[in-house]
Structure formats: C-alpha cells, structure tokens
Structure 1
Amino acid sequence: MEFLDATLQCPCTVNLWPIAMMPSNVSLENSVVLRLGSLTLSTTTEAISPVTLNSDWSRVAKLLLLTALSVTGSVGNVFMISSVMIENHLKKRGNSFLVNIALADILITGLVIPASTVVILADLTDAKFVVCNFQWFLALVSCLVSVLTISATAVENYARLCMPPDCYNTLTPCKITTIIILIWVTSCTAVTVQTVLDLGPDYCKRTSQGLLPYQITIGVVLVFIPATLTCAFFSLITLRVKTFKSIPTFRPPVTFAFDYELMKTNLYGFIFFVVFWLPFGLTLALGSIQTISQRVFYSLAWLALSKSCFLNFLYCITNRHFRNAYVNLFHYCCCKTTVSFSRRSREPVRPTGDVRVHIIPGYDMYSYTSPQRSRDVVKPAVKRATTSCGPVSMRPNGRDVYEL
C-alpha cells in the first residue's frame, strides 16, 4: 500500500488498473504496459499517423493544412521551372539542375501530400500502410535526388565562375542530361533495393530497423559525400571570387555578377535543405540505437517533407531574376487583362495603322493601339471616296505591326 500511495503521488501521468478492470477504449497498441504482480501500469501514448498526422486534430484542419501545402508547393515549383524557361538571364544549360530539384520537390507536393488528403477524405483506414509505403518510397527518392542534384549544381557553379570558358564549354547539354538521368536512376535503384529486400528502417510500422551496414553505405555514399562536396565547392567559389575582386584590374562582365548572385541563392537553398532534413536524418539514425517517440519521429518527418513546399519561394525572395519571372507569371496567369478600344466600324479599305506593343517578353501578350486613331479624335474624319482608282494599301491586313 505504501508503494501504491507513493505511485499515486507521482507527478507523471501513470494509470493503475487491475488486469480485469482495463477499460476497453484503451488500445494496448498505443500504450506501454508494465505488469507488477496483479497490477498493470499503463501509460497511453498520443497516437500520430505517418499518413494522417495527429489523430487529435479535426479532419477539416488536417485537410486544410495538407491542401494548402500541396497547392502552394506545386504552384511554386511550376513557377520555378517556368522561370528557368522564360527568363533570359536564367536560360543557361547549368540551370537544368535547378529544374531537376523542382521536379524532385513535385514528387512531394504533387503525390505524397495529396495521397494523405485522399486517405483522410475517403477514410481509408485499411489502406494506410500501403499509402505510407508509397509515400516513404517517393520521399526517399526525392531526398536522394535533391542531395545529388545540389552537389552537381555546386560543381557547375564552380566551373561557370572560376574556370576558363573553354573548360565550362565542355559541359555540354548532352552531358548535363546524362548526369540528371544517372541521378534519377541511382536514387530509384537504391530506394527500390532497400524497399524490396527490406533493408531500410520500417518507417510506417517501426517494427524493424533493417540492415544497418546497407543503410550506412547508402548514407555515406549518396548523402554524406555529396553534401561534403557541396560545402567544399561553395566555399571554394566564395574564396576565389573574393580573390578576384581584390585585384584592381579585375573587371568582370555583367553576367558574372548575375551568376554569382545565383550561386549565393543556390547556397541558401542548400542550407535550407539541411535545416529541414537534418533533424529527421539524425532521428532516423538514432532510431536504430534507441527508441524514438512517435510524436517526435513523424513530426520531424513532416517537417522534412514541407521543405519541398517552400524552397521555390526562397529562390523568389533571394534572387531578383526569379522574382521578376514569378511576378510576370503571376500577372500572366492571374491578372491577365485585354486592352481594347471600342469604336464604330470603318470602311474596310481604310488602314488602321495599329501598333502592337509587346508587354511581357516570352508570354505572347500584346496590346494594340493606333496613333492614327488618336489623331482622328482631334481632327474630324474626312470621308474618303471609295473608287477603284484610289491608292492601294500594301500593308498586310491594312495595318502596320511593330514589335517593341
């Protein structure tokens, strides 16, 4: 009795039930049970799912959160890809690696997060583990592709800024495409072998830790070494550029400043990736040695996944060329307007003298105005005789077209 009194006065949350009086609404799957003679000490843990987040949250709150992350991240990644395609200062073959990073992030924003939304909407309780394995596979592929692509981006930036032009020209578009394909093949192969042979940690059920030597090999070869190379090349670029700028006769071209600004944005993106994924990576590594609570494990996992929703906005904030492209894309997609002047119909033989103004380069957006029409507002229109002997207009469609 003294033992029970001391236990009941303990500030921690401990429920004491005899075995026969165990409430039926307490799941032993989510509880830690200690048996002492005829007594059972049970501490119920808070249930959190790798697919549907915290069970204490309402369905509406979870749906709104996941939908916002998916839509915002997908639109941002599409904008990031489009920016490289339409912005003149970003149309460089080396920036294909940035497109590849955005494609890896689309795996998360376009497939992983929407899968959780479908499970919540349809209440697919029996399919949670199938969906979880699918999400875990895509998350690992996205992570490995991002790490390897960021490392390749650092090497490309070093060649662009610090090497002679002849050396950089050896990095042809064909070679860049081959590198990107090899990155995807390597990442998918490593994750597929781990999933099929059950060599990796059990992310969904957390019942096994897999084959530890295989995990260490993958972590060192595909994560640690590329991350170390990324840090080394970005540091070399910073030191070399500072050395160049200290030379009084150094007069870099304008494109050099643009490339160096983009390199700094890529460095910020790498730091951003490390901040989001490193806590979960350390937790995953410690999980093979000691027990990690569900709340901490899956909360850090979702934090890592959310990186794919916000990295594209980092490029928008820290790089002016991406920012200009984002603004133009936003106006083109969301604020597109047509400028027209309502006037009475004129004789078909009368030329209009329209001027086509190119509003946004690369978007085929034009506005038609007419200097001749503005003169007609001041001067009364003089009726022109329509005879067969009149002057013949040589202009196509009866108007001059100028592209500004």
Structure 2
Amino acid sequence: MVSNMSHAFPTEEVSPVTLNDHWSRLARLILLASMAAVGSVGNVFMISAVMIEDYLRKRGNTFIVNVGLADLLVSGLVIPASAVVILAGLKDNLTVCRFQWFIAVWCFLVTVLSLAAVAWENYFRLCYSVDVYQKLTKRKITFLLLGIWAACGCISGMQFYSDLSFDYCTRNDLGLIPYQATVSVIFVFVPLSIALFCYVRTGYQVRRFRSRPNFKAPVTFNWDYALTQTNMYSFVIFLVFWVPFGVVLAIDNVNKVSGKVFYNLAWLAISKSCINSILYGVLNRHFRGAYINLFQYCCCKTTVSFSRRQRPEGVRPSGDVRVHIIPGYNMYCSPQRANEGGRSKRFTDRCASTRANGREVYEL
C-alpha cells in the first residue's frame, strides 16, 4: 500500500524510507545494500566470536551478544526494507516506514539496556571477587535478557496503539509529551547514566589496583580490562551516533526541524548498527582473532569428497581430504572422539593433526 505521507517540509523531498530523492536511485540502492551486507556479516561474526573463542565464551559476554543481535535485526531487516522499496520503484510507503520505526525503536531500547548490563557486568568482573561474580548465573542472565526483549517490544509497539507517541513517518505531533518523557527517562536516560557511572567507577578502581606496589595483575585480568575498554568505546560510539538524533527529536516537539536534518540524522543513528562489530574487531585482539578464524573457516575450506571404492589397507585414497576448521572444534579427529567406543589405535594414528600457516589442518 502506497501512501502519500504528509511531511512538514515537502519541498525538501526527503523520505524516511528511501533517503534523499536528489541522489540517484542506483546510488541509494548501492549504499543501502552495502550497509546491509557489511552490517549483517559483521554482526554474525561478532555473535559467533563469543561462541568460538575460548576467552570470550563467558556468560557475562552474553550481553555483548545481545547488542550484536539487536544490531543484526537493524542491518538485516530495517535497511534491506528500504532497498526493496527502491527496487520496487516506490517513493513512500507508510506500512514499510512504520515497520522500520518499530524495529528501530525496539532494537534501540534493547541496545541501551544491554549496554548498561555490559558496563555493570564489567564492573563486577574487575572490581569484585569471584564469589560475588558467580552470583550472576546463567538462569538470571536468561530471564534478564528475555525480560529486556519483552519490555522493549511492548514499549515500541505501544507507540502505535491509540497514537500514544510521536509519529516518525508523518511527523504529526500529538502533544503527548508525558508518555515520551517517561519512556525517555526510564528506558534511556537512567540506563545510560548507570553505564557511564560503571565505566568511570571501573577505570578508577583499576587504576587504584595498579598503583599498589605489591599488585601483580594476572593475564586474564588484563584481558578483561582490555575488553572493558573496547566496551567503553562501543558505548561512546553509540552516544555519538544517537545523541544528535535524540536532541533533534526533542527540539522537534517544540519547534519543527527541517525534514532533511531530521531524517538524515535518523539514518546516521541507524547506521551505527553496521559498524559496531567492526569496532570490536579493530580494538580487541580476541575478537580480531576470532574474526580471522571465522573468515578462514568460511572462505578457505577445500572440497571434501567421499569415496566408496574398496582399497587395500594402508593405501591412501587418490585425493587427500583436508579440512580447515576452527581450532578445538573438530568433532571427528579429537582424541576424545577417537577414544569413544573403544576405537582402535589405527584410527587414532590415521587422524593426525598438523599445523599449516597458523591454522589447524586435520588429515583423515
């Protein structure tokens, strides 16, 4: 359904769905497709890195995965929807716009609460004992994450029920400031303030620890602090991308802002979801190493062929089977797997592990 949406400044020809009409259709399509591709692949790598990297596989890092999942929904649903509208030759589509705004607000609120949880978890991991940190159980994390997604989904959906909130697509101001102010304070300002306090407190405590003459930090402590610094940069990047749009959105309730400025800043804020995973790969060595392993696993595998021909014992097949896999994830050639079920020593010997170019190569 195509709707002629009433903009406050129609002469500027700015669309909340298809960007600026002064740009060529091909340029807009290439830009949106590139953002969707880079953002989606990067966020998948970011989520997978926590699963495959030994150091990152901690229950507290689930909150980082939650941020990556929210960014993945934006880069995989919000941005491609605009590309589809451009491909269809449409200018404005009210249904698509409201779908995008619903997903964007939902993921924005989830990201804010997750960033606060990341900062809180980093503070307890670095500044408190292991016994205190162990109280953060998997069950508590699961219920907390489910509660975050459910609460944020309800808040995002309620803005369309009885027109409680500002209409992003048509920019019709209903003047119901109390609802918007309440949501902004409880779900945005308070969590961001908690995150900022936790990071400042963490940096202060770590400097105190390191100033002690008898303090010798273990390597895991340095790794945790390096990851915390990366999370700090991610928090700052989030503020840099979203605060300008938040300020313009607040001003727009009092004095109408140019549609060109309003929607360009909105798309700038949305584009944050496409670069957050890149930030982790650049600043953190564990994420960077996991990205390299994932790239090698996805792009450097050789063809695996299976042969049913009978051959004499001790004679290798005509084509060697070499599989490049992520270290520690060979389910067939690991010693534990080989010893299961009373396997013979001959099978274990034939399942030899070598290293080539810094990667695990297993020959079957």
Tell me the TM-score normalised to structure 1 length: 0.77
Q: Aligned equivalents of 2:138 and 2:22: distance in 1?
A: 51
Is 1:63 equivalent to 2:63 in the alignment?
no
User: Quick one: which amino acid aligns to residue 66 of structure 1?
Assistant: L
**Equivalenced residues, count:** 334
1:237 aligns to what? 202
CA distance in 2, matches of 1:299, 1:159: 38
Q: Could you say what secondary structure the match of 1:89 adopts?
A: coil
Matched, 1:401 2:351: yes
Check whether the contact 2:245–2:265 (CA below 8 A) recurs between aligned residues.
Answer: yes
Instruction: Note closer, same or farther for the CA distance 1:347–1:141 as it changes in structure 2 (3 Å cut).
Output: closer
Residue 292 of structure 1 is matched in structure 2 by 257
Mapped pair 1:72 → 2:38: yes
**How much has 1:360 moved relative to structure 2?**
3.5
Specify which structure has the bigger relative contact order, considering alpha-carbon pairs within 8 angstroms and separated by 6 or more residues: 2
Q: Equivalents in 1 of 2:299, 2:331: separation in Å?
A: 14
2:54 aligned residue (69, 88, 99) = 88
How far does the alpha carbon of each residue in 1:168-197 deviate from its partner, in whole angstroms, 9 at most, with x for none?
A: 000001101111111111111111112212
Q: Deviations over 1:113-161 (max 9, x none)?
A: 1111111111245x61111011111110111000000001111111111
- C-alpha contact (below 8 Å) 1:104/1:145 kept by paired residues: yes
Q: Structure 1 stretches of 5 or more lacking a match?
A: 1-26, 33-43, 368-393
Partner Cα distance (1:130, 1:351) in 2: 65
Distance 1:403 1:356, change over 3 A: farther
Of 295, 312, 329, which residue of structure 2 is paired with 1:348?
312
The answer to whether the aligner puts 1:329 opposite 2:279 as a matched pair is: no
| Equivalent residue number for residue 377 of structure 1 | none
Match of 1:267 in 2: 232
Aligned with residue 106 of structure 1, among 69, 72, 85: 72
Please tell me whether the aligned partners of residues 52 and 119 of structure 1 are also in contact (alpha carbons under 8 angstroms).
yes
Q: Cα gap change, 1:31/1:181 in structure 2, threshold over 3 Å: closer, same or farther?
A: closer
C-alpha change, 1:311 and 1:303, in structure 2 (3 Å) is same
Conserved in 2, the CA contact under 8 Å of 1:31 and 1:45? no
Equivalent residue, structure 2, for 1:115? 81
Partner letter of residue 93 of structure 2?
Answer: K
| Corresponding position of 1:132 | 97
Out of 312, 317, 333, the residue aligned to residue 277 of structure 2 is 312
| C-alpha RMSD of the superposition | 2.7
CA contact 1:356–1:366 (8 Å) conserved in 2: no
Specify the alignment match of 1:48 in structure 2.
Answer: 14
Shift in alpha-carbon separation, 1:123–1:359, aligned structure 2, 3 A: closer
How many Å separate the matches in 1 of 2:173 and 2:8?
A: 18
**Percent identity between the two aligned chains:** 51
Deviations 1:312-340 (A, max 9, x none): 00000000000001111111112334699
Asked if the contact 2:8/2:171 (under 8 Å) is kept, the reply is no
Q: CA deviation at 1:106?
A: 1.2
Matched, 1:220 2:170: no
**For residue 49 of structure 2, what is the amino acid of its counterpart?**
S
TM-score of the superposition, structure 2-length normalised? 0.85
1:56 is paired with a residue of what secondary structure? coil
Counterpart-to-counterpart distance in 2, 1:298 and 1:31: 12
Change (3 A) 1:364 1:286: same
State the structure with more CA Rg.
1
